Copies of this chain bind each other. A is one copy, B any other.
Amino acid sequence: MQQPYNVYEDRCPTRQVLDRLADKWALLILDRLQGAPVRFNQLRRDIQGISQKVLSQTLKKLERDGLLSRSVFATVPVTVEYALTDLGQSLIQTVSTFAHWAEQHMDAVLLAQVKYDEGAASTSGA
């Protein structure tokens, strides 16, 4: 008995899910929510470079897919908290490893880039 879903297939609904999750901002948001709920503007401050629009959009998509929950508290000013759901928890270890992989392997990547660019230079050069 094999699975009904195959992400390699064009029209499989998993492909859309992958497309939404395989996003720089989505990964950073999920990673940031690891451990405890975080508020909108806190996410905005912590994830440097993200705009309100993209943060808002990405949060909506992740909420719709059931990976995180949105809670509004009637404080003054209003508090909106985002937190991982159980579904989000099922992915967070993988997301975290993926998002931080570059931090561990950055030197190797930079070295590879230098080598690649040298090769490209010699092709067009001598």
By a beta-carbon cutoff of 8 Å, the part of chain A in contact with chain B is 3, 5-10, 13-15, 17-19, 21-24, 26-28, 32, 46-49, 63-67, 85, 87, 90-91, 94-95, 97-106, 108-113, 115-117
Contact = CB atoms under 8 A, between A and B. Distances in A.
B17 A106 contact: yes
Task: Give the interface SS of chain A, mostly helix, strand, loop or mixed.
Answer: helix
B112 A87 contact: yes
B7 A116 contact: no
A95 B14 CA distance: 15
A96 to B, nearest CB: 9
**Identical copies of this chain, number:** 2
A21 B9 CA distance: 20
A101 B91 contact: yes
A66 B27 contact: no
Contacts of A104: 3
